Amino acid sequence: MKKPETVDEYIAPFPQETQRLLQLVRGAIRETVPDAEEVISYGMPGYKFNGMLVWFAGYKKHIGFYPKTNAIKVFKKELTGYKTSKGAIQFPLDKPLPVTLIKHIVKLRAKENLEQAKN
C-alpha cells in the first residue's frame, strides 16, 4: 500500500465510522486554526502553524491525537478518563469524540506556536 500524500488519502481506507471521526478531528482543527497548513507528517495528518501544531491518526480501537507534551499537562484534568502518554491522547472509537476539548487543545497549541515564533 502506498503512503498517503494527502489527508483525504489517509482517511479513505478506514471503516466508515472511523472516517467520520477522523473528519470530525480534522474539522475541529481547521475550524480552530483556519490558516494551518494540512500536511502528512510521520505518515499521519498533521497541521503546521508557525511550526508543527498537532497530528492525529486512526487505529483499530481509537483515534490518536498528538498535541505535544505541554498541552497534555495543561489539560490533564479534562483528559481524565482517556489514555494519555507524554505526547499522545487516545480517544476510544466507542465513546463520543470530545470535539470541544480538541478545539481548546488546538487553540492552546496555536498560541504556544505564535509565542515561540515571536522569540
Taking only the tens place, the pLDDT of each residue in 14-57 is: 999 999 999 999 999 999 999 999 999 999 999 999 999 999 99
Q: Alpha-carbon distance 30 to 116, whole Å? A: 21
| pLDDT value, residue 118 | 84
CATH of 7-118, one of 3.90.1150.200, 3.40.47.10, 2.40.70.10, 3.40.50.1460: 3.90.1150.200
Q: Does 95 score more than 90 pLDDT?
A: yes
Please report how many Cα atoms fall inside a 13 Å half-sphere around the Cα of residue 28, on the Cβ side.
22
Tens of pLDDT, residue by residue over 50-85, are 999 999 999 999 999 999 999 999 999 999 999 999
**Cβ contact 37:48 at 8 Å:** yes
Res 117: pLDDT: 83
Judge whether 26 and 18 are in contact, CB under 8 Å: no
Grid cell, residue 5, equals: 500524500
